[in-house]
Structure formats: C-alpha cells, structure tokens
Amino acid sequence: MNSTHMLLFCLRERLLDSDVISLACFLVEDLRASSPADLSHDEYQTAADWLRTHTRHRPEVAIICGSGLGMLADTLGCQESFAYSDVPGFPQSTVQGHAGRLVFGVLKGKMCVCMQGRFHMYEGHTLSKTTFPVRVFKLLGVKTLIVTNAAGSLADGLQPGDIMIIKDHINFPGFVGLNPLIGPNDDKFGPRFPAMSNCYDKELRCLATEIGKQLEITGLMREGVYAMVGGPNFESIAEARLLHRLGVDAVGMSTAPEVVVATHCGLRVFGLSLITNKVVKTYEDSDSVNHEGVLEVSRLRSVTVQQLVTELIGKMDINNNGPNDAGTKF
Ligand SMILES: O=P(O)(O)O[C@@H]1C[C@H](O)[C@@H](CO)O1
Ligand code: HPA
C-alpha cells in the first residue's frame, strides 16, 4: 500500500477528514518531488577523487557523529581534516553540535574517517545529499560504517545517559516515499531492491555487548529499535504514544537513510543511540525536551561512547564484510 492508498483507506474508514487527506496527498507528492536520487555517479566520484588527492589516509572504517558526539573524532591519531565546504559536493552542516568537518586518522591501528556533523532531512537537504558522504566513503574503500545519534527514549528500560545498540530501525519517512534510493538505481552501488533484514550487523552488536561487559557499562546498555521521524519538531504526546505502541524503543531524526544507503552498497553497519531524554508520553507530565538539553546529555556521556566505539574498532575484524556485501565493485 503506498502513501496515497493509505490516505484513501483512512478516508474510506472515516479516520481522517477529506480536507486533511487532500492536504496530506499534496504534501506527500511535493516531498517526493524534492528527494529523488538526483546525483550522478560522477558527483560521488569527484568528491572521492578530491579526498584521495588531498589525504594519504585510506580509511576502512567511517564514523558518523550524532548531536554532541563530535568529540569522537578528537581521539583519532595522525589527524587530517577538511571543512565540508572544501569538499566538492558536500552540503553544509547547519545544526548546533554538528561542526561540519571530515576528520581522517588512525584509531587502534585502523584507518578511519569521521564525520564531525551529519546532514538531516529537516535542514532542507534532499535525501541524496543527506546520504552523500556514505557513497563517497564506499568509493574511498570504507568497509564498515558506524552511525551514532542522540535519541529520545520511549522504552521504560532506557533512561537518559543510556546507550542503545541499534538492532533494527523503522524508517518512517520511507513509508511516504522519502527514501534516498528512490529514482533510477545506480547498479554500480547496489541492487534495485536491497534487503534490509540484516542491516545492523549481528557480529558487531555481539562484540559491542562483550566490550560493554569489559568496560563495566552493561547497566547502561541494551539493544533496541530506533525510529526515524522527519523532525525538526520533537514529538507530540499523541505521536509519542503511537510510536510506543508500535514497539519503538528510541526516536530520532537521522540515521535510517544513511543506513539504507550503506546497506545498499554493501557496507557493514553498526549503530548506537545515546539516549538524551525521555519522550513525554502523558499529558500530566510538564517536562519538555529541547536541543540544548540533548547536547548536554550527549557531551556528558561522550567519553563512554568514545571508549565503546574505540574498543569496537580495535577489536573488529576489518576483513569480515558482513552478510550484505556482494563483493566490491570499484
Ligand atoms: O544527528 P542526531 O540524530 O544525533 O541529532 C538528533 C536529532 C536532531 O537533529 C537533534 C535534536 O536535538 O538531535
Ligand atoms: O525525543 C527526541 N525525538 C526526536 N529526536 C530526538 N533527538 C534527541 N531526542 C529526540
């Protein structure tokens, strides 16, 4: 059932009023038109070639830093960094807590590249721009992508400061046709219909849990399902209740498109959410979330996240490309 069918179903079942349906159909079509896979292979290649000529680093692991988690990049040794504005094709970061730098370096003997700041759909970037760096990383020879984000908790067992290892995601924008893979498929990157049932690598999730035991932080860690909503507003109480009933453990405004594109091109993915707030689910609760509070919790826990990611990179088998890799095509 596509989004228009879904809206018509709601109308028939008298779940929504006809004016709301017309407006929603209009918005869905409008959003679809603004986010096709509109970049050519050459545009990714140009960025990758530019980076290859400007650095001698040849990264195997890429890390995307979530809100307030940019200091992950500070731990890299032998650093070389580039402002996004200098790299051909890279969009600009516009969100506080996302510095807008690409940092190359070495962590535990492995060559890494770190995005100090990511791109979000709500900033007005098309989804192909939002996920642009992921394909550039693939062209640079990256095999594993680590995604981190700040997220609100819907699960009773997840408190601010906890770390949720992402087991799976719900890509809500994808339900209404906002998917970075929409448009002509670039077969050089991956298949028209990629599977998403293995997108968060099981071996890396197990390894992270083991590392959590060694770091004595198991009390802070659990696995869960992350849901991406479009943002930029935080959830209404009715939306929070809906997400909770759907089995979502943590909600945020990023990550899913990056993981879809990474899985499409055969990258192995590990994801974690730093829980920065409880999502308000009752009308009696006078709490409300704000971005400054999100950044504060992220920064307070960033050393722990840094230790977990560093140990994970140190212990991961770089030659295991995970179940989605159909062989490198470049
Ligand atoms: O980039 P992430 O997903 O970590 O950022 C989250 C979602 C919003 O961009 C912001 C809200 O505070 O943090
Ligand atoms: O509660 C939240 N909702 C959506 N995105 C978020 N990012 C941090 N916290 C949240």
Residue 305 located in a structural domain: yes
Interface TM-score (ipTM) > 0.85: yes
Ligand in nearest proximity to the CA of 293: 1
Residue 229 lies in a domain: yes
Identify which of 257, 256, 300, 246 has the alpha carbon closest to the alpha carbon of residue 275. 300
Give the ligand at the shortest distance from the Cα of 255. 1
Q: Is residue 21 part of a domain?
A: no
Domain holding 270: CATH number? 3.40.50.1580
Q: Which two tokens stand for residue 185?
A: 């498929």
Q: For the segment 92-113, what is each residue's pLDDT rounded down to a tens digit?
A: 989 888 889 999 999 999 999 9
In the chain, the number of structural domains is 1
- Residue 182, in any domain of the structure: yes
Going from the Cα of 235 to the center of ligand 2, the distance in angstroms, rounded, reads 8
Judge whether 36 lies within some domain.
Answer: no
pLDDT for 139-160, tens place per residue? Answer: 999 999 999 999 999 999 999 9
Tokens, residue 258: 């990056």
> Residue 125: which domain range?
45-315
Q: 73 C-alpha vs ligand 2 centroid, how far in Å?
A: 22
Structure tokens at 189: 């990157």
Residue 35 domain flag: no
Residue 299 domain-assigned (yes or no): yes
Identified catalytic residue from 198, 239, 291, 320: 291
| Ligand 2 centre distance from Cα of residue 200 (Å) | 21
For residue 253 and ligand 1, the question of a CB distance below 6 A is answered with yes
Task: Kindly report, residue by residue over 159-193, the tens digit of the pLDDT.
Answer: 999 999 999 999 999 999 999 999 999 999 999 99
CA distance 92 to 100: 7
Q: Which residues contact 54 (CB under 8 A, 6 or more apart)?
A: 82
pTM comes to 0.89
**269 domain-assigned:** yes
Whether omega for the bond prior to residue 232 falls within 30 degrees of 0, making it cis, is: yes
For a substitution probing ligand 2, which of 279, 280, 296, 297 has the most ligand atoms within 8 Å of its CB?
A: 279
